[in-house]
Chains A and B, each alone.
Chain A
Amino acid sequence: MIDAPKPIAALTDTGPTAPPRSQWRDVWDQFRSHRGALIGSIVLLTIIAGVFLGPLVWPYDATFIDIRARNQGPSWTHPFGTDQLGRDTLARMMAGGQTSIAVGLTAMLLAVVLGSLVGVLAGFFRRLDGVLMRLTDLFLSLPLLPLLLVMVLLFREALNGVFGPERGIFILIVVAIGVTSWMPTARIVRGDVLALKEREFILAARSIGTSNFNLITRHILPNVMSPIMVSATLGIANAIITESALSFLGLGFPPDFPTWGRLLNDAVQYLQDYPERVFWPGLGISLTVLSINYMGDGLRDALDPRIRGR
């Protein structure tokens, strides 16, 4: 140890005044200050709370038929009105929301995770690129309907046997939607990764010996977050609508099981006579998608260190 020269006052670090903050704390602060994201989160949480807790206090059952009360407009007993069999629309919206949100979120997560994984691997490792992209081509080419019919044929009984009819069909639907909708995400992520991989900061990271795993998780993934976010928001809307198409084909939940997509589908026939019937499920889907979109926006901003802290 040699004696240090007297430090120049202007060049000394005066020790941090604030306690150290974790990165995630910063992210959270930034997210919180994003007005759209905050409102989006509140709306989404309200919807989720409404559809999951609502049925506990609401006296009507979603499948109970009161045939004398059919085709009613909004009233105090039925605030959202009733359908052509006299089932309470509010109760059906709540029950339908449970399924739609659950299916939408899980199927979207499955598709996005699968798509990002395939996309990152294909973009990053040249050797995997050919195989994975041909696989993507194959999946994009398969006709959706026969594919779903085959999946139902092969797996329905087996899944029902293991998980019981309701959970079995839920898994089947989520997997069916996920497996048939990951391809665009994969292609988009791969395209971005191909370009990112050639950037200087990756070269720099590689030159200091960063492992491939760290390279992907720390440097590549955060930079492809924004297309993934967009895929995710669009994916939710897609999954909710696809679910209704599936039940229409008889591949989905039992016919008396309401979902938002099915409510919307059923109500279209009555568009002219009872327009309020399309309004509620349409509103439910749109609000969910919009709020997730804003949350995605906020999250993207929060994760971007260039924006954060400005």
Chain B
Amino acid sequence: MLTYTIRRLVLAIPTLLFISLVIFLLLELAPGDPMAQVPLTVPPEVKEKMRLALGLGEPTHIRFVKWMWQFFVVEPMMLIDHVFGTALAEGQQRVLSWQFRSPVMDVIVQRMPQTLWVVAMSYVVGILIALPIGIYSAYRQYSVFDQTGTFITMVGYSVPPFFSGVLVIVIFSVQLGWLPSIYDTTLKVVDWQTFKLQLMQMVMPVMVLALQTTAQISRFMRASMLDNLNQDYVRTARAKGLSEWSVVMVHVLRNSMIPVITVIALGVPSIFGGAIITEQIFKVNGLGQLLITAIEANDLPMVQTVTFMIAVLIVLFNIVADVLYGVFDPRIRYD
């Protein structure tokens, strides 16, 4: 397994380089103009000069090589400088955002806390709710619990966050006045009081996002459990006199985990892609908002960097999922 993992990790490098090239070319080809948000009162000649100042006059391949150098060499050096106090990257140009004229990495780091608080938290909450629901729904198929669970999750999944988000704001912020409708990213949790404030502003976005995760994962969990509950080995296990708990929670669950692991692993990178609509509705301004505003403003260095970092996570978590398959089902062999 270890050699397999190492081989996959080494193979990931050329894959990622290729992906970065494809993303770059895609962004080049996409229609768009970093000057689209500049008011129409700014004359076209001035806009042309602004484009040149951003480095858009250079040919595509030069810009790609420059980005590669800045991202793979200068940024890691910056990190080393930051940790060890050295000055390796001094005077080197970093990946600069076209909107902010500031290093892309600084802004990404700035957006991390709220993304982790809200999006990652909702993912964890969603999974924690989904697994028991999925397991129990399958175990008691067509029971009242199963029917209600199915109904709520499916309605929850078919109602998009642009609606459910506004709905909870109208109920809890406007009508009841319990929760703030605007997320305060400057809030620092230092004591009990601020922790409470942080919880209050997190509740609604986490709820809205977790609904989607729960719906999706519980459906896969249920389906996969159902497939396994009728297998012969379950009968054997029961016949052996194993307790119902260990039959379901050990034998069946373990064998049902493969699709669920896939779905969970697929979702992790998207945490860092942020939740575009939900972030927008609650003004969380995390990575999702960063990415969508960068796309709208055609801030190519920002889009390229964020998407590439998500790509790294995608590749990485797919490897993790593949390794976990082997752990859960030792019959799966890659060598």
Contact = CB atoms under 8 A, between A and B. Distances in A.
Q: Please say whether the chains A and B touch (CB closer than 8 A).
A: yes
Contact of B151 (A195, A264, A271, A290): A290
A271 B259 contact: no
B167 to A, nearest CB: 7
Interface stretch (B40-48, B83-91, B152-160): B152-160
Which of A138, A198, A278, A288 has the most C-beta atoms of chain B within 10 angstroms of its own C-beta? A138
A137 B19 contact: yes
Contacts of A271: 163, 166-167, 170
Contacts of B308: 141
B220 A188 contact: yes
B23 interface: yes
Interface string A200-225: 00000000000000000000000100
A191 B262 CA distance: 7
A22 interface: no
Contact of A141 (B226, B262, B310, B321): B310
Given A153-B30, A194-B332, A138 B295 contact: no
Interface string B34-78: 000000000000000000000000000000000000000000000
Interface in B304-318: 307-308, 310-311, 314-315, 318
Interface stretch (A12-20, A42-50, A143-151): A143-151
A244 B160 CA distance: 10
Nearest to A281: B163
Given A137-B315, A146-B295, A226-B227, A198 B332 contact: yes
B15 interface: yes
B162 to A, nearest CB: 6
B224 interface: yes
Contacts of A282: 158-159, 163
Interface string B1-37: 0000000000100010011001100110111100000
A138 B333 contact: no
B219 interface: yes
B155 A290 contact: yes
A286 interface: yes
Contact of B261 (A191, A244, A286): A191
Contacts of B15: 134, 137-138
B266 A142 contact: no
A268 interface: yes
Contacts of B226: 226, 300
A61 interface: no
Contacts, number: 159
B41 to A, nearest CB: 24
B325 A187 contact: no
Given A141-B23, A278-B163, A195 B331 contact: yes
B9 to A, nearest CB: 13
B303 interface: yes
Contacts of B292: 145
B319 to A, nearest CB: 10
A5 to B, nearest CB: 36
B207 interface: no
A130 to B, nearest CB: 8
A237 B162 contact: no
A230 interface: yes
Given A141-B311, A147-B26, A282-B159, A191 B230 contact: no
Nearest to A129: B334
Which of A130, A184, A230, A271 has the most C-beta atoms of chain B within 10 angstroms of its own C-beta? A230
Contacts of B155: 286, 290
Which of B142, B216, B259, B266 has the most C-beta atoms of chain A within 10 angstroms of its own C-beta? B259
Contacts of A226: 223-224, 226-227
21 contacts: A133-B318, A142-B23, A143-B307, A145-B295, A153-B31, A188-B220, A191-B258, A192-B258, A194-B258, A194-B325, A194-B332, A195-B258, A198-B329, A229-B223, A234-B216, A261-B160, A271-B163, A282-B158, A288-B158, A289-B158, A300-B223
Given A138-B22, A195-B258, A290-B158, 9 more contacts: A138-B18, A141-B310, A153-B29, A190-B262, A194-B332, A271-B166, A282-B158, A290-B151, A306-B230
- Report, nearest first, the 7 A-B pairs whose CB atoms are least far apart: A141-B311, A198-B331, A146-B30, A226-B223, A289-B158, A237-B158, A191-B262
Interface of A: 36, 130, 133-134, 136-138, 140-143, 145-147, 149-150, 153, 183-184, 187-188, 190-192, 194-195, 198-199, 223, 226-227, 229-230, 233-234, 237, 240-241, 244, 261, 264-265, 268, 271-272, 278, 282, 285-286, 288-290, 293-294, 300, 304, 306-307
